[in-house]
A = this chain, B = another copy of it.
Amino acid sequence: MTVKLVVLYTQPDDTTAFDEHYLGVHGPLVEQVPGLVRWESAGFAAAADGGELTYHRMAELYFADQAALQQALGTDEGKATGRDYGQIAPPGSRMFIAAVDD
């Protein structure tokens, strides 16, 4: 069963600086994570429910299964990506593991 790491970034103080680091530094780190099947990032544009635009960006990293995801997080590349997440993620940002429906 395909699983994905779902990352939700709250609004940064400096959106331009965040996006530059995200696209220029963080993205290339993600792409080196072993076992990554594919990944997708997106920028939130609006709250469709009329509520607060809580999140600025999201990312989804897809792996073949739960074991592959766990193994990836433990590699040097996975740890480097995690450290960079810790550097850039604004307070309240979240990271979840989700099982993709077939």
Footprint of B on A, CB under 8 Å? 3-6, 23, 40-49, 51, 53-55, 58, 66, 73, 94-101
**Interface residue from B42, B43, B97 paired with A46 (Cβ < 8 Å):** B97
Distance in Å: Cβ of A69 to nearest Cβ of chain B: 9
Number of copies of this chain that the complex holds = 2
**Interface residue from B41, B44, B73, B99 paired with A96 (Cβ < 8 Å):** B44
**Interface residue from B4, B41, B54, B94 paired with A42 (Cβ < 8 Å):** B4
Given known A-B contacts A5-B48, A58-B6, A42 and B99 have beta carbons under 8 A apart? yes
Enumerate chain B residues within 8 angstroms of A94, measured Cβ to Cβ: 47, 49, 51, 54
Quick check: A97 and B40 within 8 Å, CB to CB? Answer: no
